[in-house]
């Protein structure tokens, strides 16, 4: 054995002798920066443009557009009313469900806990469509039943602030649940046991120990949910537009779509909304990182389960009721409407038909929209995974200078409602020298941009679980960056990459806020097509389209859940 | 094989190495050399910079100052702006977590470094087989990492590290995740293997016994600085500073005035504030007016009668006895000071006994003056 063999290859002793690594790292960083910052720049430009709205670039700058936002106090009030009501309801749902499923011995806890993520994947749009069919004052099924039972007028009206808030809360409730349940599970049960051992009663323990410990977490969830509500679009669009009830997102959409469009005002509204959400998410991070005692360790405990006796059957009913309202009832309603000629609560036998399904599939618009969505889903996921995988590696593993800054840029779309982001993109890519506006290319770019945080977080979640020394060891064995990435990093990351692919695919297929502004006449996609169908054609056909979309997403979901269960990852990031 | 044979040139040279973690300095100017075939151990408490130093040699941390040379050629030099990436330094490393790739078999794990070097497959099969034989893991070649115990993973990591004949092997606390019994066995095996391969190695540990048993030379580190460099005997027997005396084993530190007038037979005499007189050895270290000496707890002896022929005999009272299995720890009152004595006493010495304590003057070690105060 030779005693001191030469190093693997006689490299020129220079500081920068790993170009592949740097090239790939800074390459994707540049792509991400362009994707995110280019539209943001144009969004800001439009918001501060007080000159001739048709002239580009702007002739004058000022803050008049922001002052003009306050000419619409009703819209701001509506936004606050809906967001506040929805946040309160979502927190109640989230807290009650989290407490029941994390701390009591309700029957079927495991199954319920699995089912709690379903509303999140069903999408608020689907809920809004279904609840619109259920709760419209005239034709809503519930009100039809009410009148059949002898009532007069209507018992519920979904086209109101509280109707909108209710549907939003049903779906955001599962997000609140995930956050609050995480807080409850991260609390060391011995903290409560210590209080009881010292002689405190159950009530005193709850007031003096349990509540103070979980309150920062709940406050964090409240801020996060409120920010989400401020930026939510689909429910307010479907349920608010018929009664001309506008919130800020639907108003932005209206101002962009109307003729003549009021681009500058819409931009100022978008920037204001984004600024408020940014502050809220900043607060959220502060609360979660500094205010909470229980999330510091990040360790999961098995929470102490309270035996609630007979009450458990009542709590069981509460869980069933929630899942009925958020999942079963909406799906059943859409199915019920989709098999009727004219959707009514009490159809006669000859009203039933399967014609809607063949009609939906033979309708050129719907078929091409579904086809486009599938193509975009595949393309977004397939391009997104390597792009976001490299970004995750760059941010969390490469230790190249500037990685922290890249993280901020990549996570930026998180704080901006997709509608507002898409607005910036529309404005940016219209003036782009290559004509991609109105094509599928623009939608692809938009999806890759708005889903950057989703993809990067999913992949980095798995990446951070991989012991760093596994890669370092390959390096010590003499493997170059490309070799060790191919033989060690990617094979270890494979489950995370597949999960990210499926999540990106699902997210693309159900995307509304960005697509509705950016799709062109020849690049229609399924979710906005469903909304168009809802406002333009019969609700039976809309229900059918929504069901078909749900089937596609459901199939992808089943693959995802089966896959993540096998590799032990969690589908919700 | 005597590893300390005089060799012309050091194999690894570390010179004024400085590494920062963000703005925090982790290594603050460390220098040492390793001779070819030698095993050098970096020893110190957690946070002392030993692992960072090792990773800087490996090329996994980028230093901010100093120079690292391997075979005389710089792999890192701040002055000459050289920083050769880890994969091109021709070193190899065994990680604390073993870092066995879970998606490969044992064979593929070990073969990795050879595949990187585009070794012909017949040669790979032969070398992997040989390496697995050396760590007694031949029977496990087809297994996956998840099917191995900690000790087995350790052996695979070792085979993987030396199979491609690297010029230097680096060990980052490789035994710290094993249970105590296995650690003792692996310690001997590692030492044996290192001798057989004759490979230069740098070993990081916080475990004193491990360092003493396995090393040709030890670098004791503290707060990013070198505290003392020497053979295991030197480090244990002649600690230079209070920190080394205390960290490497357990020792009593005694401070006092130099009584040059009472010195005799080449010994130094020290008088404590309480008036106790103790004779010690300077070992060539400068003798000032105020002295600190270190006496290992195992070198103090308790006897019922004063032994003849030694200047260091005192009547003492045993205040407390703690039985600790292999030895008993006695707390004795010595003048106005309390000393700790460890003895393998067969018969227990009850608390309150009046006995005699003695220590050979060569076991009373003068600490270097500038290092003595820093404890």
Q: Chain A residues contacting B, CB < 8 Å? A: 1-9, 11, 13-15, 17-18, 467, 469-470, 472-481, 483-484, 487-488, 491-492
Cα–Cα distance, A93 to A97 (Å, whole number)? 6
In this complex, which of B59, B96, B165 lies closest to A1 when CB atoms are compared? B165
Question: Is pLDDT at B182 greater than 90 in this prediction?
Answer: no
Nearest CA in chain B to A14: B82
Nearest CA in chain B to A483: B116
- pLDDT score at B8: 63
Interface probe with B: pick from A4, A466, A484, most Cβ of B within 10 Å: A4
Nearest CA in chain A to B92: A476
Give the confidence band of B371 by pLDDT, cuts at 50, 70, 90: low
Most confident by average pLDDT, A5-9, A402-406, A427-431, B276-280: B276-280
- For chain B, count helices (H), then strands (E): 9, 21
- pLDDT score at A194: 81
- pLDDT score at A139: 82
Bridge partners, B355 (sequence order): B316
CATH number of B242-372: 2.40.50.140
* Tens digit of each residue's pLDDT (9 = 90 or more) over B47-74: 899 999 999 999 999 999 999 999 999 9
Most confident by average pLDDT, A68-72, A558-562, B262-266: A68-72
Q: How far is CA A155 from the centre of its chain?
A: 32
Question: What are the domain boundaries of chain A?
Answer: 75-353, 357-573
B113 contacts in chain A (CB < 8 Å): 477-478
Q: Do B93 and A476 make contact, defined as CB atoms within 8 angstroms?
A: yes
Q: Are the C-beta atoms of A185 and A300 separated by less than 8 Å?
A: yes
In this complex, which of B95, B166, B167 lies closest to A473 when CB atoms are compared? B95
A2 contacts in chain B (CB < 8 Å): 165
CA distance B327 to chain A (A): 38
* Residue from A175, A268, A293 nearest A226 by CA: A175
CA distances from B218 to A526, B67, B208, B209, B212 (A): 69, 20, 10, 12, 8
Question: Is pLDDT at B215 greater than 50 in this prediction?
Answer: yes
Tell me the pairing of strands B24-34 and B12-21. Answer: antiparallel
Q: Do B99 and A480 make contact, defined as CB atoms within 8 angstroms?
A: no
In this complex, which of A4, A18, A470 lies closest to B99 when CB atoms are compared? A470
- As a whole number, mean pLDDT of residues A481-495 equals 89
Query: What mean pLDDT is reported for chain A?
Result: 84
CATH number of B12-237: 3.40.50.300
- pLDDT score at A68: 87
A491 contacts in chain B (CB < 8 Å): 103
Give the confidence band of B26 by pLDDT, cuts at 50, 70, 90: very high
CA distance A26 to chain B (A): 18
Residue % of chain A over a pLDDT of 90: 26
CA distance A476 to chain B (A): 5
Helices A161-185, A73-103: crossing angle, 10 deg rounding: 40
Question: Is pLDDT at A492 greater than 60 in this prediction?
Answer: yes
In this complex, which of A2, A18, A478 lies closest to B113 when CB atoms are compared? A478
Q: Do B88 and A2 make contact, defined as CB atoms within 8 angstroms?
A: no
Give the confidence band of A474 by pLDDT, cuts at 50, 70, 90: very high
Tokens of A569: 């990852």
- pLDDT score at A290: 63
CATH number of A75-353: 1.10.3720.10
Q: Are the C-beta atoms of A499 and A506 separated by less than 8 Å?
A: no
Tokens of A34: 């362009």
- As a whole number, mean pLDDT of residues B208-230 equals 92
Interface predicted TM-score (ipTM):
0.82
Cα–Cα distance, A336 to B36 (Å, whole number)? 82
- pLDDT score at A15: 39
- pLDDT score at B3: 45
Q: Do B165 and A2 make contact, defined as CB atoms within 8 angstroms?
A: yes
B105-110 long-range contacts, CB within 8 A, separation 24+: B105/B141, B105/B142, B105/B143, B105/B144, B106/B132, B106/B137, B106/B140, B106/B141, B106/B142, B106/B143, B106/B144, B106/B145, B106/B148, B106/B156, B107/B132, B107/B141, B107/B142, B109/B145, B109/B156, B109/B160, B110/B156, B110/B159, B110/B160, B110/B163
- pLDDT score at B288: 86
- As a whole number, mean pLDDT of residues A363-383 equals 89
- pLDDT score at A6: 39
- Higher-pLDDT residue of A528 and A572 is A528
A472 contacts in chain B (CB < 8 Å): 58, 60, 86, 93, 95, 99
Question: Is pLDDT at B27 greater than 90 in this prediction?
Answer: yes
Helices A364-396, A452-465: crossing angle, 10 deg rounding: 40
Nearest CA in chain A to B170: A476
In this complex, which of B97, B113, B165 lies closest to A477 when CB atoms are compared? B113
Phi and psi at B171, nearest 5°, equal: -120, 120
* Tens digit of each residue's pLDDT (9 = 90 or more) over A255-266: 988 888 888 899
Tokens of B205: 């540990």
Tell me the pairing of strands B365-366 and B337-343. Answer: unpaired
- As a whole number, mean pLDDT of residues A103-114 equals 86
Nearest CA in chain A to B127: A1
* Residue from B203, B140, B141 nearest B175 by CA: B203
* Residue from A293, A282, A502 nearest A382 by CA: A502
Residue % of chain B over a pLDDT of 90: 53
CA distance B320 to chain A (A): 36
Bridge partners, B257 (sequence order): B271, B290
- Grouping H, G, I as helix, E, B as strand and the rest as coil, residue A176 is helix
B54 contacts in chain A (CB < 8 Å): none
CB pairs under 8 A between A and B: 109
* Tens digit of each residue's pLDDT (9 = 90 or more) over A290-337: 654 544 344 556 667 777 788 889 999 999 999 999 999 999 999 988
Cα–Cα distance, A484 to A477 (Å, whole number)? 10
Nearest CA in chain B to A488: B101
CA distance B95 to chain A (A): 7
Query: What mean pLDDT is reported for chain B?
Result: 88
Report the length, in residues, of chain A: 573
- pLDDT score at A187: 73
10 Å Cβ neighbour count for A412?
21
- Higher-pLDDT residue of A526 and A286 is A526
- pLDDT score at B53: 96
Give the confidence band of B145 by pLDDT, cuts at 50, 70, 90: confident
Place of tokens 């946070």: B47
B99 contacts in chain A (CB < 8 Å): 467, 469-470, 472-473
* Residue from A512, A537, A523 nearest A126 by CA: A512
Give the confidence band of A17 by pLDDT, cuts at 50, 70, 90: very low
Give the confidence band of A566 by pLDDT, cuts at 50, 70, 90: low
- As a whole number, mean pLDDT of residues A355-374 equals 83
- pLDDT score at A556: 85
* Tens digit of each residue's pLDDT (9 = 90 or more) over B86-142: 999 989 999 988 899 988 999 999 999 999 999 999 999 999 999 999 888 999 999
What does the DSSP 8-state code read for residue A413?
G
Architecture of the domain defined by A357-573? Orthogonal Bundle (1.10)
Interface probe with B: pick from A22, A478, A488, A491, most Cβ of B within 10 Å: A478
Q: Do A18 and B93 make contact, defined as CB atoms within 8 angstroms?
A: no
Bridge partners, B169 (sequence order): B92, B201
Q: Do A480 and B87 make contact, defined as CB atoms within 8 angstroms?
A: yes
Cα–Cα distance, A396 to B159 (Å, whole number)? 30
**Stretch(es) of chain B classified as CATH 2.40.50.140:** 242-372
pTM: 0.81
Helices B150-162, B121-134: crossing angle, 10 deg rounding: 130
Interface probe with A: pick from B88, B101, B202, most Cβ of A within 10 Å: B88
């Amino acid at each position: 054995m030779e005693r001191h063999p030469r190093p693997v290859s006689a490299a020129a002793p220079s500081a920068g002798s790993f170009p592949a690594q740097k090239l790939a790292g800074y390459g994707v960083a540049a792509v991400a920066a362009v994707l995110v910052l280019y539209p943001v720049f144009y969004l800001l430009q439009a918001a501060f443009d007080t000159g001739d709205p048709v002239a580009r670039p702007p002739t004058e700058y000022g803050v008049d557009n922001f002052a003009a936002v306050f000419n619409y106090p009703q819209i701001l009030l509506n936004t606050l009313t809906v967001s506040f009501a929805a946040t309160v309801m979502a927190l109640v749902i989230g807290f009650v469900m989290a407490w029941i499923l994390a701390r009591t011995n309700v029957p079927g806890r495991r199954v319920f806990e699995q089912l709690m993520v379903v509303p999140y994947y069903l999408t608020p749009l689907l809920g809004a469509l279904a609840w619109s069919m259920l709760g419209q004052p005239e034709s809503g099924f519930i009100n039809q039943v009410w009148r059949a039972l002898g009532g007069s007028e209507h018992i519920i009206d979904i086209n109101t602030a509280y109707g909108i808030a209710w549907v939003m809360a049903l779906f955001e409730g599962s997000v609140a649940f995930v956050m609050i349940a995480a807080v409850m599970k991260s609390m060391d049960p011995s903290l409560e046991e210590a209080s009881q051992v010292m002689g405190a009663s159950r009530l005193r323990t709850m007031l003096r120990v349990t509540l103070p410990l979980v309150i920062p977490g709940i406050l964090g969830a409240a801020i996060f949910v409120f920010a989400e509500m401020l930026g939510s679009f689909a429910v307010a669009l479907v349920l608010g537009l018929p009664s001309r009830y506008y919130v800020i997102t639907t108003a932005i959409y209206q101002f962009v779509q109307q003729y003549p469009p009021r681009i500058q005002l819409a931009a100022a509204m978008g920037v204001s909304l984004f600024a408020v959400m940014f502050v809220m998410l900043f607060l959220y991070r502060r609360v979660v990182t500094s205010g909470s005692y229980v999330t510091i360790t990040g360790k999961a405990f098995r929470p102490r389960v309270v035996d609630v006796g007979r009450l458990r059957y009542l709590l069981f009913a509460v869980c069933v009721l929630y899942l009925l309202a958020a999942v079963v009832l909406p799906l059943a309603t859409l199915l019920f409407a989709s098999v009727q000629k004219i959707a009514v609560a009490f159809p006669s036998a000859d009203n039933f038909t399967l014609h809607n399904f063949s009609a939906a599939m033979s309708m050129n618009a719907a078929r091409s929209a579904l086809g486009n969505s599938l193509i975009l889903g595949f393309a977004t996921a397939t391009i997104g995974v390597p792009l976001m995988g490299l970004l995750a590696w760059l941010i969390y593993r490469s230790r190249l200078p500037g990685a922290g800054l890249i993280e901020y840029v990549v996570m930026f779309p998180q704080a901006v409602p997709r509608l507002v982001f898409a607005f910036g993109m529309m404005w940016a890519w219209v003036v782009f020298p290559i004509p991609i506006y109105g094509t599928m290319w623009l939608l692809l770019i938009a999806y890759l941009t708005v889903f950057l945080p989703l993809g990067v977080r999913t992949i980095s979640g798995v990446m951070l679980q991989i012991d760093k020394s596994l890669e370092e060891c390959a390096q010590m064995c003499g493997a170059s960056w490309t070799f060790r990435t191919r033989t060690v990093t990617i094979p270890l990351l494979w489950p995370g990459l597949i999960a990210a692919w499926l999540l990106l695919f699902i997210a693309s297929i159900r995307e509304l806020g960005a697509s509705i502004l950016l799709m062109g006449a020849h690049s229609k996609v399924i979710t906005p097509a469903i909304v168009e169908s809802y406002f333009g054609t019969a609700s039976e056909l809309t229900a059918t389209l929504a069901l078909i979309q749900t089937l596609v997403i459901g199939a992808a979901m089943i693959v995802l859940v089966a896959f993540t269960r096998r590799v032990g990852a969690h589908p919700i990031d | 094989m005597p590893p300390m044979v005089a060799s012309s040139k050091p194999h690894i040279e570390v010179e004024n190495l400085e590494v920062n973690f963000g703005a925090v300095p982790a290594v603050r100017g460390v220098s040492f050399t390793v001779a070819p075939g030698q095993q050098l151990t970096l020893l110190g408490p957690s946070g002392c910079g030993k692992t960072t130093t090792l990773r800087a040699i490996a090329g996994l941390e980028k230093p901010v100052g100093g120079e690292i040379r391997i075979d005389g050629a710089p792999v890192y030099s701040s002055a000459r702006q050289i920083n050769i990436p880890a994969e091109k330094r021709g070193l190899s490393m065994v990680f604390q977590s073993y870092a066995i790739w879970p998606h490969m078999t044992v064979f593929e794990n070990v073969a990795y470094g050879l595949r990187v070097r585009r070794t012909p497959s017949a040669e790979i099969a032969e070398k992997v087989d040989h390496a697995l034989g050396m760590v007694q893991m031949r029977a496990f070649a087809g297994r996956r990492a998840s099917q191995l115990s900690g000790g087995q993973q350790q052996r695979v990591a070792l085979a993987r590290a030396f199979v491609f004949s690297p010029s230097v092997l680096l060990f980052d606390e490789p035994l710290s995740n094993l249970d105590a019994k296995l650690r003792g066995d692996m310690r001997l095996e590692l030492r044996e293997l290192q001798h057989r391969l004759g490979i230069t190695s740098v070993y990081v540990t916080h475990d004193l016994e491990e360092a003493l048993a396995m090393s040709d030379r030890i670098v004791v580190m503290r707060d990013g600085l070198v505290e003392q460099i020497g053979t295991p005997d030197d480090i244990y027997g002649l600690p230079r500073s209070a920190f080394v005396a205390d960290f490497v084993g357990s020792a009593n530190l005694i401070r006092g005035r130099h009584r040059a007038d009472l010195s005799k037979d080449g010994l130094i005499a020290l008088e404590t504030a309480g008036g106790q007189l103790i004779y010690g050895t300077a070992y060539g270290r400068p003798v000032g007016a105020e002295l600190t000496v270190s006496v290992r707890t195992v070198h103090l002896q308790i006897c019922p009668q004063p032994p003849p022929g030694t200047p260091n005999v005192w009547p003492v009272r045993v205040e407390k006895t703690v039985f600790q299995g292999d030895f008993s720890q006695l707390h004795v009152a010595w003048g106005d000071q309390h000393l700790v004595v460890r003895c393998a006493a067969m018969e227990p010495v009850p608390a309150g006994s009046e006995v005699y304590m003695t220590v050979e003057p060569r076991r009373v070690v003068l600490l270097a003056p500038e290092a003595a105060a820093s404890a």
